Amino acid sequence: MDDTLPILVADAPDALAELCGVNLLERLLRILQRLGFRRAIVFSSTPEIIGTELAKPSWARQEIGVQLVGSATKPIRTALFLQPNHAERFLFVPANIYCDARLLAALGARDSSVALVDSNPPEFARNLIRNPCGPAFITRNFLSALSPDTPFLNELTKKIDHAKIDIVDAANEDDYIVNMRRHVRPLCFPAPRAQDRGLAERIILDSAQNGTVDLPAYLHAPIETAIISLLCKTRITPNQITIGGFVIGCSATAAFLAGRVGLGIIAALLFGIVDGLDGKQARVKIETTERGKWEHHLDYLIENSWWLAIAFNLWRSGQFPNVFYFLAVLIASHLLAEFAKRRVKIARGRLLDDVAPFDRAFRLIAARRNVYVWVLAAGFLLGAFSQSYAMICGWAAASAAVHLMRSVWICDGAVRRFVGIRS
């Protein structure tokens, strides 16, 4: 996309309409930066208002340079795009829309001019979507063939209506997101009316929820969404949430080391909720960073400090003299499970937890941090804490065995199919 120039048309007030704490123009610029663009032009018939907005510091789009061009005419005419200092390829985006990043990426990946439409809007979003959606990938040759004094959007609509331009249909785009383990329908819609604002924000919040989760996460999800619906309208960043979670996680470790098991479990349960907030905040507000992708490594370090701290406390108190053998089983099982999952992702391009109905069902109860904490909480309340620790270690080994068998079945099946095709 290095040779493609994004062009945004941003007129107040629609381009500055806020959804989940971020106005539409800012949201689009953040998306464009994450798609790899480093410059964009913004045309506006209200340059003073838009310029004031663009002048505000924003770390989430600081890597994309923006040139603001005032326009005396509204709507924008085709001739304005044909200035000699512009590129040969353009990604045109009205800034008064919400648009899924995957749709903009699909437009930018084309070689010839193409426009975005949605031939079959989903029922839940039917009140929001208008066709044509607005965004388009266009070449200079395509622009040169248009009437220079005609409103560009009118010309584009005519080309779509008369099948004179190819289309990217949002209804036909792949809606599966591997790392989120779920299908999320990509959408593009204009600034919603006041009565539809709540619906638009619910769609954005829902799109940030991971799929195929464990049983405890089903309880966490609505709590996390309710919290994010408030947090997204503040200046709190995902990194700040991560730091808060780190403090809570370390507090749980300290409590377990000190033998304050009840306090440790409460902190661990709280961590389970807070841990899901930073990723959701980043996805909702388009504040993802490369450092944020390593956050799960920090989580892994924290949770393993819990199992070590608990083992040390059980050994020191004499409640479980052989506990470190069980701890070794727990850690080895985690490593084996990760190996199995990595093999499947390489072979199938998706996570083991979401390959088949069995895997999705097993994910509900498979050995994971949230499940462990629930088991330990039950053991603590029943006065059988050491037994519950042995139980989670055993369940880790059983889960790893299941994941390994599924990995062998899935990967060997992929090999057999490949050999069959080649032969």
Kindly list the structural domains of the chain, giving each domain's residue range(s) and its CATH number in brackets, ordered by start.
4-190 (3.90.550.10), 213-422 (1.20.120.1760)
Query: Which pLDDT score, from 0 to 100, does residue 423 have?
Result: 46
Pairing state between β 39-44 and 4-9: parallel
> What digits encode the pLDDT tens for the residues 284-319?
999 998 776 777 888 899 999 999 999 999 999 999
Q: Is 77 left (phi over 0), alpha (psi -120 to 50) or beta?
A: beta
Contact 278, 295 (CB under 8 A): yes
User: Does residue 94 sit in helix, strand or coil?
Assistant: strand
Query: Which pLDDT score, from 0 to 100, does residue 86 have?
Result: 63
Residue 79 banded pLDDT, cuts 50, 70, 90: confident
% residues pLDDT > 70 (the chain): 95
Whether the predicted pLDDT of 149 surpasses 90: no
Strand extents, DSSP E, 95-224: 97-99, 114-117, 136-139, 166-169, 176-177, 182-183, 188-190
Whether the predicted pLDDT of 356 surpasses 60: yes
Q: What is the mean pLDDT of residues 31-45?
A: 94
Query: Which pLDDT score, from 0 to 100, does residue 72 have?
Result: 67
Query: Which pLDDT score, from 0 to 100, does residue 161 have?
Result: 87
> What digits encode the pLDDT tens for the residues 109-145?
998 999 999 999 999 999 999 988 889 999 988 888 8
Residue among 4, 10, 94 at smallest CA distance from 51: 10
Whether the predicted pLDDT of 22 surpasses 80: yes
Look at 80 and 93; give whichever has higher pLDDT: 93
CA atoms of 232 and 225, how far apart (whole Å): 10
Q: Measured at the alpha carbon of residue 240, what is the angle toward residues 250 and 186, in degrees to the nearest 5?
A: 115
Q: What is the mean pLDDT of residues 170-176?
A: 94
Query: Which pLDDT score, from 0 to 100, does residue 417 have?
Result: 56
Whether the predicted pLDDT of 359 surpasses 70: yes
Whether the predicted pLDDT of 416 surpasses 60: no
Query: Which pLDDT score, from 0 to 100, does residue 85 have?
Result: 58
16-25, 174-183, 200-209, 383-392: segment of lowest average pLDDT: 174-183
8-12, 82-86, 207-211, 323-327: segment of lowest average pLDDT: 82-86
% residues pLDDT > 90 (the chain): 76
**Which pair of structure tokens corresponds to residue 388?**
């519950």
Whether the predicted pLDDT of 211 surpasses 90: no
CA atoms of 87 and 139, how far apart (whole Å): 9
The 8-class DSSP code of residue 284 comes to: H
- Residue 355 is which amino acid? V
> What digits encode the pLDDT tens for the residues 231-281?
999 999 999 999 999 999 999 999 999 999 999 999 999 999 999 999 999
Residue appearing with tokens 């199919």: 417
Q: What is the mean pLDDT of residues 41-62?
A: 95
Q: What is the mean pLDDT of residues 395-406?
A: 97
